[in-house]
Structure 1
């Protein structure tokens, strides 16, 4: 690992645990035992370092999800795993993005534009794999499906004012909504698997037993 990579990794951890606004270039320099001048020579300013640290943070997230889905029996199970992990890890990620939007809007705009494109690409590849595996029909608009899936997931994990039915948790709503989405594009075999994974991932189902 190069010095620059080591600095980005450490800054990423500090931003995630201490908050983007709270961490100063002085703090990062002191933590790593380097001069502040070195930081500015390598990254230009805090925004330059912050952008790379965010890329590092979300690349770690992508790798964790890849490892999580290695044992998935098919792409539909992998999608359930990824989407439930999105919900489970939303707290820290949302805090970082909220701080970024508030204090560094230019970095936020750049990162979210690029991050959205990457996420949509990942969803698209998984949906295409589902078609190839015979779990999804091939007669739907891929771009529209990706948009619906992306913004539905985003709404559940990031909207603080989302009104849910009384007694329903965010997790229950999330699993129900994504299950209904997959049912809309599933083949007969895919529908069987959706029902199977709904039993495994929906906490409301466990309480009804």
Structure 2
């Protein structure tokens, strides 16, 4: 969908409010007030709140894909690439209120599943490609089945985000993802890769 400058501003502001406060707690009046526009003007940009939620999630997915592509292009090797992605997602999850994820699943289940599925598909492709890259570079174990490990990694990530195993009040999502990334690295690197990983983490640890 081609968006106007006004629509993009709306999506960015709504996304910020949804992630910080929760989706249900933010009304269209609140969004119009934050943007300094009338409610009539707001409804000229989007038909309803459901469409806006969909556009926010779609925008987030496109942004994440662009970031992962940039990390692939700029990284020195597979470990560097994966660390960049891990740091990015950990920091992003620190911005997300548990209420936002709860509201999305409860009140917009079709949007949740369609957008999460789209994100999951691309995420799986990137993880599998990273595993193949790491093996080719001699940093990851050579007995890895990239498809199997990518499925396990993405599946565990979805389980964490779903919050079924780790209730939101017990520990921050960002900390769980940090542990998850560390667990993944320890399972895939060989000794050469471990030395490289330690070198990178001494320069900049996971946040």
Question: Is the shorter-chain TM-score for this pair beyond 0.5, marking a shared fold?
Answer: yes
Matched, 1:21 2:24: yes
Q: 2:183 aligns with which of 170, 177, 180?
A: 177
TM-score by length of 2: 0.71
Paired with 2:121 and 2:74, the residues of 1 have a C-alpha distance of 26
| 1:73 Cα deviation from its structure 2 partner | 3.4
Out of 51, 66, 82, the position equivalent to 2:85 is 82
* Alignment partners' CA distance in 2, 1:132 and 1:179: 16
Matched with 1:160 is: 166
Aligned in 2, Cα 1:114/1:28: closer, same or farther, shift over 3 Å?
same
Q: RCO higher in 1 or 2 (8 Å CA, sep ≥ 6)?
A: 2
Deviation of 1:147 (Å): 1.1
Aligned: 1:149 with 2:153:
yes
User: Can you give the 5+ residue segments of structure 2 that lack an aligned partner in the other structure?
Assistant: 169-174
Task: Give the match for residue 127 of structure 2.
Answer: 123
After TM superposition, the runs of 4+ consecutive aligned structure 1 residues lying more than 6 A away are 65-71
Q: 1:126 to 1:47 in 2, by over 3 A?
A: same
In the TM superposition, what is the alpha-carbon distance from 1:133 to its structure 2 partner?
2.6
- Structure of larger gyration radius: 1
User: Which whole-Å deviations, capped at 9, do the CAs of 1:85-124 have from their partners, x for residues lacking one?
Assistant: 4334334336222221122222212211112112212222
